[in-house]
Amino acid sequence: MSDTYATDIVVNSSVPEYKVSLNKTRAIFTMRQRFWPNGEKIKVFTLADDHPLHQVFTKNNLHMFPHQLRRVWDRITFSGIGRVPIVVGSEEEMLEKVANTPNAIGYLSNEFENEKVRLFISQ
Amino acid sequence: MKKFDYLFRNKLLVLLFSGAMSTQAFADTWYDDIAVHGFATQDFFHTSDNNVYGESDDGISPGLTEIGLNLSYQPFDRLNLSVQGLYRRAGKVDGGIVRLDYGVADLTLLRFESGQLGIRGGRIKVPFGLYNETRDVAFTNPTIILPQGIYFDRSRSLLVSADGGSLYADYSTEYGDIGFKFNLGMPLGDNEEVLSTILGPSASGEFEAAPAFATQLSYELNGGEYVFAVSYMNLKLDYKPSANDFLGDGNTKIRPLLFSAQYNGEKFGLTAEYLYRWNYYSDYDVIPDFSFVSESWYVQGSYRFLPSLQGIVRYDAFSSDIDDRSGKRSQANGLPGHMAYAKDWMAGLRWDITSSWMVRAEYHRVHGTAWLAHSDNLDSSETKQDWNLYALQLSYRF
């Protein structure tokens, strides 16, 4: 599955352009980094743990495994210390959410066309 | 307390109801600001000797049920409110009531490009080791029964949550993520099991917890592939003697220091924790003042045969007094020596049927009775040193 398509991290066009390291990108998706450099709250969107695209994204873009993210998110969810990403039902919904939510971040497979969404540059 | 729990239950329903209403009534933005999660777990136990969570000896006890429901709401970017109600029924130790597990207002004070600093107030979960903050949520635990030398179930009321405040900081660097928490508050430790654990079954007074602090420093690499943490707590319990008590109005101080390390690979996982705990008994009059050190450690390995199927093996050891590992003091008091220690070999299998349903089973071979609950084993002279424990768990989450 992971050979058939690649994923890109995408953000709403309101997010300031800046280059982010792999570790900072992980910090965003593990909810340790909760604000953009301009002080706005980051809105994180994700697909379900068992969605093929989520598995590809976790491995290829974060160099992690879905169960590692789950460990971190569960700890937040059930100890009252913050918020976890909002789970969307499909890739179409992901595009729609990231396009229409200021300060949003998510991921999509290959090409998408939406002027309100752009690639997030992670090194 | 009962009244409060009842009130709380109704409040939770109202909160939930209004939460459901608002998600229907308002647009997506409202929906995104409110999150509701929950879990329900039922466990079954069988033991060859000694009782755990009810009458498990030579029978099957369905004695542990845990149901939780939480809601989190973000009125504005820097403020997060979250609340969790917990129903718990655990053998004869916990009779099955709904409690406020946590109720937290979390305010971000400072935002950096690499992290944040904030404060929390309310009823806050106690950070201790790798599992304490979510110890009642089966999905987040490695096994049905957590290593009992560290995550004591019978004295859990001292460890679950405390009413007070917390200062926290998160900082991400290229070389890993650092987290810090300092909590100050009143532990909810007022149950009889804590009393009989510390002073023995004949103490007839009551314990009153003094404000305590708990602090934790953690370091994670590669998004949690490697986790390291140090936790420390300072607890004090003041004893209020009953009318004709043989004990004076003394106090007990408990100071646990816990080191944690974990590796979370794609398939293989390895976890170890080491506990060193200072205990001080003062001013009980008939008992001379004394202090001793307890120690516990475990090593746990896990392997994912499939993404949804995981096997786990652990060895866990506990000594209530490192200068009396064989329990001579217990014997001098006419109690079994094996109350002073417990060594537990366990093996288990976990199957995540879906992302919401999980079932698992485990076997423990235990040498010693140090962590058995007194309420489930009223006559300690009848407890056995070597025993088997079988457990089955079914859990749901959303």
pLDDT per residue as tens digits for the range B12-21: 444 444 444 4
Nearest chain A CA: its distance from B125 CA (Å): 6
Residue A28 forms part of a structural domain: yes
ipTM here: 0.89
CB contact under 8 A, A81 and B37: no
Query: What does the pLDDT average to over B279-290?
Result: 91
| Assigned domain for A3 exists | no
Distance, in Å, from the CA atom of B163 to the CA atom of B178, rounded to the nearest integer, reads 25
Contacts of A81 in chain B (CB under 8 A): 82, 104, 106, 120, 125, 133, 168
CB contact under 8 A, B114 and A101: no
Averaged pLDDT of chain B = 89
State the smallest CA–CA distance between residue B152 and chain A in angstroms. 18
For residues B363 and B15, which has the higher predicted lDDT (pLDDT)?
B363
- Give the residue, A94 or B190, on which the prediction is more confident: A94
CB-based contact (8 Å) between A2 and chain B? no
pLDDT of residue A123: 67
Q: Note the pLDDT tens digit of each residue in B260-269.
A: 999 999 999 9
Cβ distance A49 to A72 under 8 Å?
no
Task: Say how far apart CA A22 and CA A64 lie, in whole Å.
Answer: 11
What would the mean pLDDT of B347-368 be, rounded to a whole number?
Answer: 96
Chain A nearest C-alpha distance from B357 (Å): 13
Residue B328 has phi, psi (to 5 degrees) of -65, -35
What is the average pLDDT across A88-101? 94
The model's confidence at residue B107, banded by pLDDT at 50, 70 and 90, is: very high
- Residue A114's pLDDT is 85
**Average pLDDT in the B377-391 region?**
92
pLDDT > 70? residue B191: no
Cβ contacts (< 8 Å) between A16 and chain B: which residues? Answer: none
Tell the residue number behind the tokens 């708990």, with chain if given.
B214
Residue B286 to residue B284: CA distance in whole angstroms: 6
Residue A1 within any structural domain of the chain = no
* Beta-carbon separation of B264 and A83 below 8 A: no
Q: Is the pLDDT of residue B140 over 50?
A: yes
Q: What is the mean pLDDT of residues B69-74?
A: 94
Q: Which domain holds residue A51?
A: 8-119
B-chain residues near A37 (CB < 8 A): 113
Considering only the beta carbons, identify the residue of B80, B172, B307 that sits closest to A24.
Answer: B172
Residue B177 forms beta bridges with which residues? B172, B220
pLDDT at B26: 40
Q: What is the mean pLDDT of residues B134-148?
A: 96
The verdict on B23 touching A (C-beta cutoff 8 Å) is no
Q: Do B80 and A24 touch (CB under 8 A)?
A: no
Q: Which of residues 30-69 of A touch B (CB under 8 A)?
A: 30, 32-35, 37, 39-41, 43, 48-50, 62-69
Count of domains observed in chain A: 1
A19 reaches B (C-beta below 8 A) = no
Of A24, A35, A68, the CB nearest to B264: A68
Interface of B with A in 230-249 (CB under 8 A): none
Whole-angstrom CA distances from B264 to A66, B221, B378 are 11, 10, 41
What mean pLDDT is predicted for residues B271-290? 94
Contact between B72 and A63 using a beta-carbon 8 Å cutoff: no
Nearest CA in chain A to B73: A83
Q: What's the predicted TM-score (pTM) here?
A: 0.89
Nearest residue of B to residue A33 by CA position? B115
SS3 category, A55: helix
Closest CA to B231 of B199, B183, B170: B183
Contact A65 B266 (CB under 8 A): yes
Strand partners, B324: none
- CATH classification of the domain holding A90: 3.40.190.10
The answer, yes or no, to whether residue A122 has pLDDT greater than 50, is yes
Q: Is the pLDDT of residue B229 over 80?
A: yes
Cα-trace Rg, chain B: 22
The reported pLDDT for the residue numbered B96 is 84
| Phi/psi of residue B351, nearest 5 degrees | -125, 115
For residue A109, being part of any structural domain is answered with yes
Mean confidence (pLDDT) of chain A: 90
Q: For residue B24, is pLDDT > 80?
A: no
Task: Give the model's pLDDT for residue B28.
Answer: 46
Q: Do B177 and A34 touch (CB under 8 A)?
A: no
Q: Which of B113, B133, B264 shows the shortest C-beta gap to A71?
A: B264
Measured over the CA atoms of residue A71, residue B393, residue B155 and residue B242, the dihedral's sign is: positive
Closest CB to A23 among B82, B116, B174: B174
Nearest alpha-carbon partner for B121 in B136, B135, B102, B137: B102
Conformational region of residue B334, where left means phi above 0, alpha means psi within -120 to 50, and beta covers everything else: left
Q: Are A118 and A11 in contact (CB under 8 A)?
A: yes
Give the integer Cα–Cα distance in Å for A26 and B81: 24
For the cut 80, the answer to whether the pLDDT of residue A4 exceeds it is no
With b meaning 16 or more CB within 10 Å and e meaning fewer, what string describes A94-115?
A: bbbbbbebebbbbbbbeebeee
